[in-house]
Amino acid sequence: MGDHHHGPAKGITRWLTTTNHKDIGTMYLWFSFAMFLLGGAFAMVIRAELFQPGLQLIEPAFFNQMTTMHGLIMVFGAIMPAFVGLANWMIPLMIGAPDMALPRMNNWSFWILPFAFAILASSFFMEGGAPNFGWTFYAPLSTTYAPPSVTFFIFGVHILGLSSIMGAINIAATVMNMRAPGMTYMKMPLFVWTWFITAYLLIAVMPVLAGAVTMMLMDIHFGTSFFSAAGGGDPVLFQHIFWFFGHPEVYIIILPGFGVVSQVIPTFSRKRLFGYDSMVYATASIAFLSFIVWAHHMYTVGMPVAGELFFMYATMLIAVPTGVKVFNWISTMWRGAMTFETPMLFAIGFVVLFTMGGFTGLMLAIAPADFQYHDSYFVVAHFHYTMVAGAIFSMTCAVYYWLPKWCGRMYNETLGKTQFWVSFVGFNLTFFPQHFVGLAGMPRRIPDYALQFADFNLMSSVGAFIYGASQLLFLYNVVATIVAGEPVEKEQVWEGAEGLEWTVASPAPYHTFTTPPDVK
Ligand code: CU
């Protein structure tokens, strides 16, 4: 044992100064779960207010802060850091690397996150309250009419963007430079591929987001008029810039989830992934198309018909590579020796429900129809099928799949399956009825609604509390596993699972692949 093979430092110093990809992955995962519970608590406040028509529990002004902070925290605090945590843990293990390529930057990109959130959260205690303009922060709501806390919001977004860019550079550098000999690109597991492509999306669009908030800052404090028509600017310009970031952003959120499901379905089908090459090309195609569809969020602002047609057809085109993926997952399961452990349940739940979210996305892409759907609860239903049943189901799936590798102990399968079914029922009860109220014209982001929407909203709220409770079950199961789960005691946790991560001990030692593995 040389000096390079020491174990972790002790106490708080270990976590503050660590450059170890497993430590940093663990911190990302716990941080994102805490944010998930916070963003979820805001969702519970929203659903409690919407439980019945009229204004019951909170002021409309606070309701606006809740919808805004729920979206911001879920996107930037929960989902993105969760997948970066997963990348930290799994990419080195999957490509046979001893660590991430840039371990000191890795520490930095994690530790600036809590500060970004302290800044964002502090806005609740400022005069005028927290940001109240929706997670899309359209100008001039977020400039001319914004509360003073918007300046802190801008600072927070800058730090979050910095963290994401550093994380993405690190992942791209790791994939390009740290693969074990023999681990060619086309041998990489799909999770590595999807994250590699996601990293490029991040590097391309996070600076655009930084540009948008900087222009807001200039408009608010330095007398410019980027987004103010009175000064010669254009508020619609804000929407173009925001969605040039925002649409690729939703694929940033979902592509790593595609990768997870592409690892899990083959394992529990006892078959190789069907159509590996086409999976890689489909992921790259989705990433490319994500840059040329942004104005499908803006049909109602007034656009030339040629523009509407372009963005409509470009958006519909995304269904092709996405369909390739769905058919490949189903073909992988076809005539496989399938079993239905908790990760597989979440993976199948993902495929079914995400596909529904994809279909409603296709409906929203149709420009003339969007005039009815726009800013209604139909949109809310659509993107929660992709963000919750897509991103969060796949993230939960990943935790159950790799938790035994991380901590060397097996979770409680009965509890895991129970959590799946409770969250499956709770999720659908929450969001399926929102399609109906949306089609009937119920607007989103409003704390009150017309009487005819009462029944479906009651169902939504009951479902939301069931889904929320299922997350406490998840937390309990994970903690119980770490503290007192049955030891796994072997490398291979799932019979027939392929990949280098299953060749190291369970729990994975602090240092792995200090000598490169043999890749066949
Ligand atoms: Cu979009």
Q: How confident is the model at residue 4 (pLDDT cuts 50, 70, 90)?
A: low
Pull the structure tokens for residue 36: 């998930």
CATH number of the domain at 66, please: 1.20.210.10
Q: Specify burial of residue 134 (Cβ count, 10 A radius: 0-12, 13-18, 19+).
A: middle
Whether the predicted pLDDT of 419 surpasses 80? yes
Strands (E), 197-312: none
Mean pLDDT of the 379-393 span = 97
Cβ within 8 Å of residue 144, ≥6 positions away: 219, 228
Number of H helices, E strands in the chain: 18, 2
- Half-sphere exposure (Cβ direction) of 446: Cα atoms closer than 13 Å: 15
At 423, which amino acid appears? S
Question: Would 6 be classed as within a structural domain?
Answer: no
Question: Would 1 be classed as within a structural domain?
Answer: no
List, in sequence order, every residue forming a beta bridge with 443; answer none if it has no partner: 376
Quote the distance between the C-alpha of residue 480 and its chain's center.
25
Mean pLDDT of the 292-314 span = 96
Active-site positions read 70, 99, 135, 163-164, 247, 249, 251, 262, 296-297, 322, 325, 444
Question: Would 153 be classed as within a structural domain?
Answer: yes
Segment 51-93, tens digit of pLDDT? 999 999 999 999 999 999 999 999 999 999 999 999 999 999 9
Q: 511 in helix, strand or coil?
A: coil
Q: How confident is the model at residue 10 (pLDDT cuts 50, 70, 90)?
A: confident
- Phi (first) and psi of residue 41, to 5 degrees: -60, -40
Q: What percent of the chain has pLDDT over 90?
A: 96
Q: Which of 8-22, 134-148, 257-271, 388-402 has the lowest mean pLDDT?
A: 8-22
Q: ω into residue 507 within 30 of 0, thus cis?
A: yes
Segment 482-514, tens digit of pLDDT? 999 999 989 999 998 999 999 999 999 999 999
Look at residue 2 in the predicted model and tell me its pLDDT. 43
For residue 13, how far is its CA from the centre of ligand 1 (angstroms)? 42
For residue 386, how far is its CA from the centre of ligand 1 (angstroms)? 12
Look at residue 518 in the predicted model and tell me its pLDDT. 87
Whether the predicted pLDDT of 1 surpasses 60? no
SS (H, E, C) 286-301: HHHHHHHCHHHHCHHH
285, 201 in Cβ contact below 8 A?
Answer: no
> Which residue bears the tokens 């805490």?
34
Whether the predicted pLDDT of 456 surpasses 70? yes
Nearest to 423 by CA among 393, 385, 462, 397: 393
Q: How confident is the model at residue 433 (pLDDT cuts 50, 70, 90)?
A: very high
Q: How confident is the model at residue 3 (pLDDT cuts 50, 70, 90)?
A: very low
Q: What is the mean pLDDT of the chain?
A: 96
For residue 240, how far is its CA from the centre of ligand 1 (angstroms)? 11
Whether the predicted pLDDT of 474 surpasses 50? yes
Count of other CB atoms within 10 angstroms of residue 321? 19
Dist CA 90 CA 259 (whole Å) = 12
Question: Would 278 be classed as within a structural domain?
Answer: yes
Dist CA 434 CA 47 (whole Å) = 12
For residue 296, how far is its CA from the centre of ligand 1 (angstroms)? 6
Domain hosting residue 257, numbered range: 11-502
How many structural domains does the chain have?
1
Question: Would 287 be classed as within a structural domain?
Answer: yes
For residue 209, how far is its CA from the centre of ligand 1 (angstroms)? 15
Dist CA 255 CA 198 (whole Å) = 7
Look at residue 267 in the predicted model and tell me its pLDDT. 98
For residue 303, how far is its CA from the centre of ligand 1 (angstroms)? 16
Count of other CB atoms within 10 angstroms of residue 319? 16
Question: Would 26 be classed as within a structural domain?
Answer: yes
Q: Specify burial of residue 479 (Cβ count, 10 A radius: 0-12, 13-18, 19+).
A: exposed
> Does the reported pTM lie above 0.85?
yes
Question: Would 485 be classed as within a structural domain?
Answer: yes
Cβ within 8 Å of residue 313, ≥6 positions away: none
Question: Would 5 be classed as within a structural domain?
Answer: no
For residue 365, how far is its CA from the centre of ligand 1 (angstroms)? 9
